Each structure stands twice: as C-alpha cells, then as structure tokens.
Chains A and B, each alone.
Chain A
Amino acid sequence: MKKLFVVIPAYNEEKSISYVIKDLKKSNYNNIIVVDDGSKDKTFDIAEREKVKVLKHIINLGQGAALKTAIDYAIDKGAEIIVTFDADGQHRVQDIGKMIKPVMKREFDIVLGSRFLKKNRNTPFIRKVFLKGGAIIIFLMYGIRLTDSHNGLRAMSRKAAQKIEITSNGMEHASEILEQIKKKRLKYKEVPVNIRYTDYSIKRGQSTLNSFKILFKMIIKWLTR
C-alpha cells in the first residue's frame, strides 16, 4: 500500500471539520493534514482534538495558499499519493477509492473529481451554469477539456504534486492547477464523484459573484506574468 495523505484546507469550518475527519478515519484514511487558514472560529482546536496533523496559518491567506502548505508538508512527509479534500463536507469519502486507483496504477498523474460525468440532478441550476461556464473558459485559456472546472476533490501522484506550482493564494488556484497540468504535461483524468449539496456547503461555497472576481484575478495574473 502506497503512502497516502489526505490534505484538507480549512477556513472557518468548525461545524464540519470534525465530521469530515471522523468520516475519513472511518474508512482508514489516517494520514490527514489539515491546514487551518487563519480561521476566526475554533477550527484549529477542533481539528487537533481529532488527533490529526494540523498546521496553522497565523493569518488568512486563501484556499490556494492553504492547499499548497498542505501539499508541501505531505511531500516532506514522504507522501506517494495526495488527495485534496474540502473541509465543508461536500465530498464523499467513498469517492476517494476510485480516484486514487488510476494514480496507484501509474496510469495517470492526477485524477480530478467531476460532478457532471454521470447523470446528476442535485447540482443547483445556477451553480451548474457557472461551473460549465468556467469549464469553457478553462478550455479557451488552457486548452484542457473538462466536464467540471472547479472540484476540490483530486488525487495526485507525488511526482505531480511536486511539479504543480500553486502561486495563487485565492480561489484561482483551481484554475492554476489545470494550467499546470497542461504546462507540465501531466496525464489527467476525470472521475465521477458526488457532491453533497447541503445548505451548509452551499453557504460556505463560492458565490456566483465571486466567480467573476476569480476570473478577473486570472486575467490580471495572465496579463502580468
């Protein structure tokens, strides 16, 4: 069995983080790294109580920065496979198995979760429009064809984790990872996953307005590099 780490960036997730960690442990995913991204609530204490490795950003930097801290740390600890998992409870632990399989078999460097690969009715309409719009923009900007553009559930090999450079601190990191996949010529694959849309995860998720902000930042980044 390869050394597998599940990394969870968390910001103000005191309500869900404990459940997410317990759920992962129940399925024997015991190497868990939580990066508390300067939460103002008790996320850090609650996560520590679950006896997992918790790193703390002393100020809030953004999900991209937290993810990079977590991935760097996992690499340091000798991770061979890294799974990124959201802290709000929207992902299902059962989906991890099929995500890591292609990476374990070395068929793919990175596997991305997609909520649109199979028939799926639970994605709210407006969210669907924006995620699909995002996928089109990703295709136009980077030439990567995906069904779901911004899914926090990913599995990657150590090699892929080392190659992917995340420089965006904010939510643009999701697009940046895709850009890196293209640039570093990583072999990628989408796997269908289920998203649990609860009132909580919707509230904690990205607002529609935010997607414009993210797009704007991506364009600025693209212009100034």
Chain B
Amino acid sequence: MSIQPIQIIVVLFSLFAISRVFLRYKDKKLTINQFIFWCIIWAGLITLTLFPKLTSPLSRILGVGRGSDIFIYLGIALLFYIVFRIYVKTEEQDQNITKLVRELAKKKK
C-alpha cells in the first residue's frame, strides 16, 4: 500500500486538530467528555485515512460503492442539516431583535 500525498495532508491536519483539542482541554475550555469525543473523531479520521479498506464492510452493508463515499454522502447530509439549523436559529434571532427594537421604539418618550 503506497501512501498518497492527500493522506499525509489529512493525517497532519488531524494531528494539528488533536493538538488544538488538547490545548483547549488544558485551558479547561473543554470538558473531559468533549475532549474524548473530539479525540475519537480525529483519531478515527486518521485511522480511516491510513486504512481506507476498513470502511469496505460498512460500504457493503449500506450498499455504497466505495467506503470513502459514505463519508461524502453523510458529510453533505450533515452539512445540509446544520445549514437548516442555523437558518432556523438566525430567523429566531431576527424575530427577537425585532421585538427588542420595537419595544425600545415605543418606550422612548
């Protein structure tokens, strides 16, 4: 198995991310649970990057051609969902700001 440049980049980036997670944990910005969660995510990414074959059983179960495609599909779905959540959230904030501004307008004088 030859290592491709992209794998090196992803691994290096993941290591960088883990170092950041560790620093945040040391600053007590993250709880132990959050620390473990993010470590598993990034360590998982490193493992799957170096051993892409590991995803084959999963791709067979789900009926997706290549294991790595699953992540693309799930990634896009997740992003869509997050965008939706953010949209709803900003809409809520808009309404709250409107309420505030309106009350202020009525209160003055």
User: Measuring CB to CB, which residues of chain A are less than 8 angstroms from any residue of chain B?
Assistant: 35, 38, 55-59, 61, 65, 68-69, 72-73, 76, 167, 169, 224
Closest to B103 in A: A69
Residue contact A55 to B105, C-beta cutoff 8 Å: yes
Residue contact A65 to B102, C-beta cutoff 8 Å: yes
List of B residues within 8 angstroms of A58 by Cβ: 101, 104-105
* Chain-A contact segment, one of B40-48, B75-83, B87-95: B87-95
Residue contact A68 to B102, C-beta cutoff 8 Å: yes
Total inter-chain residue pairs, C-beta < 8 Å = 36
A-B CB contact pairs (8 Å), 24 listed: A35-B105, A55-B106, A55-B108, A56-B105, A57-B101, A57-B102, A57-B104, A57-B105, A59-B97, A59-B101, A61-B98, A61-B101, A65-B101, A65-B102, A68-B102, A69-B102, A69-B106, A72-B102, A72-B106, A73-B106, A167-B95, A169-B94, A169-B98, A224-B91
Give the distance to chain A from B29, nearest Cβ to Cβ, in Å.
32
Give the distance to chain B from A55, nearest Cβ to Cβ, in Å.
4
List of B residues within 8 angstroms of A73 by Cβ: 106
Residue contact B98 to A65, C-beta cutoff 8 Å: yes
Residue contact B102 to A56, C-beta cutoff 8 Å: no
Bound together, the chains give a CA A169 to CA B98 distance in angstroms of 8
Given A56-B105, A69-B106, 18 more pairs with CB closer than 8 A? A55-B106, A55-B108, A57-B102, A57-B104, A58-B101, A58-B104, A58-B105, A59-B101, A61-B101, A65-B98, A65-B101, A65-B102, A68-B102, A69-B102, A72-B102, A73-B106, A76-B106, A224-B91
Residue contact B106 to A224, C-beta cutoff 8 Å: no
Bound together, the chains give a CA A57 to CA B95 distance in angstroms of 14
Instruction: Kindly name the residue among A65, A72, A167, A169 whose own CB sees the greatest number of chain B CB atoms within 10 A.
Output: A65
List of A residues within 8 angstroms of B95 by Cβ: 167
List of B residues within 8 angstroms of A55 by Cβ: 105-106, 108
Bound together, the chains give a CA A56 to CA B104 distance in angstroms of 8
| Complex A-B, nearest 8 residue pairs according to Cβ-Cβ distance, in ascending order | A55-B105, A57-B101, A69-B102, A65-B98, A57-B105, A69-B105, A56-B105, A61-B98
Closest to B87 in A: A224
Closest to A65 in B: B98
